[in-house]
Amino acid sequence: MKIERLIKMANDISDFFNAESDKEVAVEGIKNHILRAWEPRMRQAIIAYYKENGAGLSELAKTAVSKLG
Amino acid sequence: MSMNKEQDFGTPASTASTHVNLEIDGFKVTAPAGTSIMRAAASIGIEIPKLCATDSLEPFGSCRLCLVQIEGGRGMPASCTTPVAEGQKITTQNPRLAEVRRGVMELYISDHPLDCLTCSANGDCELQDMAGAVGLRQVRYNPIETHLNAIKDESNPYFTFDPSKCIVCSRCVRACEETQGTFALTIDGRGFDSKVSPSQNQPFMDSECVSCGACVQACPTATLMEKSVIDNGTPEHAIVTTCAYCGVGCSFRAEMKGEQVIRMVPAKDGKANHGHSCVKGRFAFGYATHKDRITKPMIRASIKDAWQEVSWEEAINHAASEMKRIQTKYGKDSIGGITSSRCTNEETYLVQKLIRAGFGNNNVDTCARVCHSPTGYGLKQTFGESSGTQDFDSVMKADVIMVIGANPTDGHPVFGSQMKKRLRQGAKLIVVDPREIDLVKNSPHVQADFHLKLRPSTNVALINALGHVIVTENLTDEAFVNQRCDVASFNKWKTFIADPRHAPEVTEAITGVPAADIRAAARLYAAADNGAIYYGLGVTEHSQGSTMVIGIANIAMATGNLGRIGVGVNPLRGQNNVQGSCDMGSFPHEFPGYRHVSDPETHSLFESAWQTRLSTEPGLRIPNMFEAALDNSFMGLYVEGEDIAQSDPDIKHVHAALRAMECVIVQDIFLNETAKFAHVFLPGASFLEKDGTFTNAERRISPVRKVMKPLAGYQDWEVTQLLSNAMGYPMSYNHPSEIMEEIAALTPSFSGVSYAKIDELGSIQWPCNDDAPQGTPIMHTNEFMRDNGKGLFMLTDYVATQEKITPMFPLILTTGRILSQYNVGAQTRRTENVAWHGEDRLEIHPHDAEDRGIKNDDWVGIKSRAGETVLRALITDRVQPGVVYTTFHFPESGANVITTDNSDWATNCPEYKVTAVQVTKVNQQSQWQQDYSAFSEQQLELLEQGLSNG
């Protein structure tokens, strides 16, 4: 999986939930979306990337990914 | 089997709820008020002679054959135009009436060729029937002048127009007006000179005729006649089935001679089409027996090898052993499959079952990924169900119709005609589209009240502006919201949408749509008694596709335009069974009925029914499969009935992924573009060769019935079953009805569906269960399908696409389809429909063309960040400056060479509608086109070698 692709997908999801004024709700939304829609190897890749440095992920996406595993 | 000819009651049924009592030829009759005497008589089996009347058209009263006498009344009124009245006593037959009718028939026949024995309508001619019915035995006239030498028009590839046989009954003219709404025909001249004229006395092919076939069907003689009937004679039996083209799902009578389809005639009692059709469903069925059909299984080790024809057993065993080998080498999750919206519900269900239960993973996806997946997501979130809310007939009660990113007259033509009928009755129209679709002002007697000609990619800014006006001008339906919706979410949305950043005066800079138009359109929609929204891929195929669907749902809920006839949110699904393929569990995260694979109750239900362990993890979506293939972790793919190598975006990336896989199994009726990258080819069956069901855009489950043997020996569900058994997961269905029984047992919204009930009702709209045993034409009537029954408002901030225009790529390319071609064109390109559209063209505005020195028909290069292709230019102001447009029906066009990998945030539906491009005049094909042409030729040679060795 190209990590650039996964970063973009995560950021696109966080762009939608960014409309939420309650950022905890937004993070929960992003996390649940990734959990319910991403195949495990995609999730593993983005988690590993976040743990490495997470560069390029939006703040909301980073927070959501941090809660994935 | 027989022809089971449909009864013609002469005039349309009355919808009145009050009834009147009368007497016809001494028999007592009760009929709804407004019914014609002709229809009332027909209802008790009394056939009054007629020629200009037919029950698909309003009465006309011109032929003077249907005269009757009414006790106490004067003269002999026409029974087609005279409504029944309380206490009437009517005589349909007596010597005086008979004499008048014979006299009328004598005049008709005096100017009609008496070639009945060799006429193509022999045995199926109303004029001939009437001559018999009135007892015509002689023609006393020897006219000095006749029309017998009138020239036949054979310009249309599917039907002929022979004016020498025309009786000028106007049925064709009226059908073109009332049924189709094109107004291509007229009666030119007066008296003896009267004649049917396409446009300005032009040949049919040069006129506005859209070849829907309504005139041919309405013609009572051989004047308008299918060439297939002229060539082959009249059919001898008919089987009712469902069209395999668009999401309207028209019901057709396949009229047959043995196993040969003579013609497809739209069924009058088809609930989606009411006897109407379009050029594809009516005429473009010849692909089913085209010489390109592949009817023998084939295998090869590499895509550089020639194909080798093998037995079914060898092909299936080879496919299964390859998939098992790959799983052993790369892991259980290294294979998957793609279901098809062109296949039946039962076939789709079986493919996803094979993948989940036989492959042991959830790597199943479907072509809805690239079209309406955002609909599934957005409507599930807001309304609780992944489907449109209305039946098609609901449009006839709509007062304001908003069409967003759809082109019904081209993409869903039969529904488009119904919509035009409602618009001609006076409904208001708002069109939201970057391009001037026909509904805007190119359909006779139809004109949009507002055309919100927005810039591509700015849908969400526009829907937010509409929402802003609705909220800030207090146009919301608070009673509906309070009773039917999640009020907390509404209040949150209300605050969000009232923010000045969503005001039309602010969004104007984003969308390019004048604020005043937005305000007026919002007021029109919100104030309507019934406001209905219809949308298409111009909504979904964006990076904010799901957001836009949610935005549409928001304004429909806010204005109370849900839960009754005439309103609703209506996605116009592209392919015949997109709705069905999604319903059947084709998405990698959902079991049939849109239940998540991790839901414990559902998971346990399916494990128990399928007797195997199932994964609780979502599988790979199609674009993820490609990514994984290039990563060497997804190496085997089973594709049934889809052509991902042509239809998916950023096609060079797709081709690279297919080349990287070790086993691609394609099941299709043709060696499509994807099959050129395949290692196993399993020949499929066309819709004429199989039993099953399709589900159309209004959730209508309609029967697909086999009218001929499968050319390759098996129906597609049988092939999947063979593969499953070879993979080691046993399946033993004897008929698709058994598959439907299983679907019904496992899917709450289908629990009341069975083949017996479909046969009884003709079709069923799901949900069909104990709560709605006859099905559900309109959803969410009392409460929404969400767990708490309340509609959910969601926040929809506009996020600009990442596909930016720059000096290097200053134009936006958007894509669409055309009436005569269908999707990737695999079917329609193999029919005479190429007469209307033989190549994809690039529409460009005159200003943009002039800036670039481009003239009509010039070859132009279209270059994006993803690639380059070359098409011929069509200069038109239907597109706005800065926007270019093309269709994608021909593989050599390479439309998807230039589309990018941007996609919807929620579903990864590609952003087909927005690609930044530069257009320049060129004089040769692009490098990609040259390379692909060489590859394609090589693949056809490898096929040829295989066929000659086989």
* Per-residue confidence band for B874, with pLDDT thresholds at 50, 70 and 90: very high
Is B797 in contact with A19 (Cβ distance < 8 A)? yes
* Per-residue confidence band for B649, with pLDDT thresholds at 50, 70 and 90: confident
Residues in chain A closer than 8 A to B369 (CB atoms): none
Instruction: Tell me whether B800 touches chain A (CB under 8 Å).
Output: no
- Span B19-134 CATH architecture: Roll (3.10)
Instruction: Tell me whether A4 touches chain B (CB under 8 Å).
Output: no
Exposed/middle/buried for residue B191 (C-beta within 10 Å: 0-12, 13-18, 19+) = exposed
**What is the number of other CB atoms lying within 10 angstroms of the CB of residue B542?**
30
Backbone angles phi, psi at B390, to 5 degrees: -120, 170
Interface test with B, best of A4, A5, A16 (most B CBs within 10 A): A16
Residues in chain B closer than 8 A to A37 (CB atoms): 589, 618, 621, 906-907
Of A5, A19, A37, the CB nearest to B795: A19
Query: CB-based contacts of B880: which residues, under 8 Å, 6+ apart?
Result: B434, B435, B453, B512, B845
Name the residue in chain B with its Cα closest to that of A29. B906
Q: What angle do CA B277, B279, B280 make, to 5 degrees?
A: 95
Domain that holds residue A50: 3-66
pLDDT > 70 in chain B, percent: 100
- Residues B768-797 have a mean pLDDT of 97
Q: Where are the domains of chain B?
A: 19-134, 159-289, 315-368+578-748, 373-571, 811-935
Worst-scoring range by mean pLDDT, B238-242, B578-582, B917-921, B923-927? B923-927
Of A1, A16, A20, the CB nearest to B547: A16
**What are B184's two structure tokens?**
């291509």
- For residue B900, what pLDDT is reported? 87
CATH C-level class of B315-368+578-748: alpha beta
Is A2 in contact with B496 (Cβ distance < 8 A)? no
Output the CA torsion sign for A42, A45, A51, A52: negative
Is B797 in contact with A18 (Cβ distance < 8 A)? yes
Residues in chain A closer than 8 A to B622 (CB atoms): none
At B108-149, the pLDDT tens digits run 999 999 999 999 999 899 999 999 999 999 999 988 899 999
- For residue B891, what pLDDT is reported? 86
CATH 3.30.70.20 fits B159-289, yes or no: yes
Helix (H) or strand (E) run with residue B527 in it: helix B515-527
- For residue B277, what pLDDT is reported? 98
Instruction: Tell me whether A44 touches chain B (CB under 8 Å).
Output: no
Domains B19-134 and B373-571 are alike in CATH topology: no
**What is the number of other CB atoms lying within 10 angstroms of the CB of residue A16?**
24
Q: Is pLDDT of B631 > 80? A: yes
Question: What ipTM goes with this model?
Answer: 0.98
Q: How far apart are CA B793 and CA B383, in angstroms?
A: 9
Q: Is pLDDT of B824 > 90? A: no
Q: How far apart are CA B424 and CA B447, in angstroms?
A: 9
CATH hierarchy code of domain B373-571? 3.40.228.10
Worst-scoring range by mean pLDDT, B138-147, B312-321, B670-679, B701-710? B138-147
Q: Which of residues 11-40 of A touch B (CB under 8 A)?
A: 12-13, 15-16, 18-20, 33, 36-40
Nearest one of A41, B797, A16, A44 to A61, comparing CA atoms? A16
Residues in chain B closer than 8 A to A40 (CB atoms): 617
Q: What is the pTM of this model?
A: 0.96
Q: How far apart are CA B315 and CA B311, in angstroms?
A: 6
| Torsional class of B512: left (φ above 0), alpha (ψ -120 to 50), beta (otherwise) | left
Q: How far apart are CA B166 and CA B129, in angstroms?
A: 15
- For residue B950, what pLDDT is reported? 64
Instruction: Tell me whether B546 touches chain A (CB under 8 Å).
Output: yes
**What are B81's two structure tokens?**
């135009």
Nearest one of B833, B827, B823 to B686, comparing CA atoms? B827
Is A39 in contact with B624 (Cβ distance < 8 A)? yes
Q: What angle do CA B737, B738, B739 make, to 5 degrees?
A: 90
Residues in chain B closer than 8 A to A69 (CB atoms): none
Q: At what angle do helices B126-134 and B95-110 cross, to 10 degrees?
A: 140
- For residue B165, what pLDDT is reported? 96
- For residue B123, what pLDDT is reported? 87
Is A12 in contact with B631 (Cβ distance < 8 A)? no
Q: At what angle do helices B736-746 and B345-353 cross, to 10 degrees?
A: 70
- For residue B365, what pLDDT is reported? 96
Mean pLDDT rounded to a whole number for chain B: 96
- Residues B408-418 have a mean pLDDT of 97
Query: CB-based contacts of B51: which residues, under 8 Å, 6+ apart?
Result: B63, B65, B108, B126, B127, B130, B167, B169, B220
Is A5 in contact with B627 (Cβ distance < 8 A)? yes
Q: How far does B379 lie from chain A, in Å, by closest CA?
A: 16
CATH hierarchy code of domain B811-935? 2.40.40.20
Instruction: Tell me whether B783 touches chain A (CB under 8 Å).
Output: no
Q: What residue has token string 């005639």?
A: B265
- For residue B948, what pLDDT is reported? 77
Is A37 in contact with B796 (Cβ distance < 8 A)? no
Is A13 in contact with B797 (Cβ distance < 8 A)? no
Residues in chain A closer than 8 A to B796 (CB atoms): 19
- Check if the beta carbon of residue B272 is closer than 8 Å to that of residue B701: no
Q: How far does A48 lie from chain B, in Å, by closest CA?
A: 16
- Residues B892-909 have a mean pLDDT of 91
- Where b means 16+ CB within 10 Å and e means fewer, B209-231 reads bbbbbbbbbbbbbbbbbbbbbbe
**What is the number of other CB atoms lying within 10 angstroms of the CB of residue B319?**
26
Query: CB-based contacts of B131: which residues, under 8 Å, 6+ apart?
Result: B105, B109
Q: Is pLDDT of B4 > 90? A: no
What single-letter DSSP state applies at residue B456? T
Of A20, A33, A40, the CB nearest to B617: A40
Q: How far apart are CA B108 and CA B105, in angstroms?
A: 5
Please give the residue that has the higher pLDDT: either B949 or B575.
Answer: B575
Q: How far does A53 lie from chain B, in Å, by closest CA?
A: 22
Q: How far apart are CA B120 and CA B225, in angstroms?
A: 8
Of B362, B624, B901, the CB nearest to A42: B624
Question: How many angstroms separate the Cα of B839 from the Cα of each of B671, B687, B825, B874?
Answer: 20, 26, 10, 11
At B609-621, the pLDDT tens digits run 999 999 999 999 9
Nearest one of B933, B760, B923, B938 to B854, comparing CA atoms? B923
Number of domains in chain A: 1
Residues in chain A closer than 8 A to B547 (CB atoms): 16
Q: How far apart are CA B514 and CA B519, in angstroms?
A: 9
Of B620, B901, B905, the CB nearest to A15: B905
* Per-residue confidence band for B710, with pLDDT thresholds at 50, 70 and 90: very high
Q: What is the 3-state secondary structure (H, E, C) of A2-62?
A: CHHHHHHHHHHHHHHHCCCCCHHHHHHHHHHHHHHHCCHHHHHHHHHHHHHCCCCCCHHHH
- For B636-702, the DSSP string reads EEEEES--HHHHSSSHHHHHHHHHH-SEEEEEESS--TGGGG-SEEEE---GGG--EEEE-TT-EEE
Name the residue in chain A with its Cα closest to that of B630. A1
- Where b means 16+ CB within 10 Å and e means fewer, B936-946 reads eeebeebbeeb
Nearest one of B582, B595, B560, B533 to B781, comparing CA atoms? B560
**What are B241's two structure tokens?**
């089935």
Instruction: Tell me whether B795 touches chain A (CB under 8 Å).
Output: yes
* Per-residue confidence band for B893, with pLDDT thresholds at 50, 70 and 90: confident
- Check if the beta carbon of residue B262 is closer than 8 Å to that of residue B255: yes
Query: CB-based contacts of B426: which residues, under 8 Å, 6+ apart?
Result: none
Q: How far apart are CA B352 and CA B359, in angstroms?
A: 10
- For B326-381, the DSSP string reads HHHHH-GGGEEEEE-TTS-HHHHHHHHHIIIIIISS--EEEGGGGTTHHHHHHHHH
**What are B943's two structure tokens?**
């096929």
Q: Is pLDDT of A69 > 80? A: no
Backbone angles phi, psi at B250, to 5 degrees: -65, 145
Is A12 in contact with B496 (Cβ distance < 8 A)? no
Q: How far does B649 lie from chain A, in Å, by closest CA?
A: 15
Strand pairing partners for B720?
none
Residues in chain A closer than 8 A to B619 (CB atoms): 39
Name the residue in chain B with its Cα closest to that of A11. B905
Exposed/middle/buried for residue B182 (C-beta within 10 Å: 0-12, 13-18, 19+) = buried
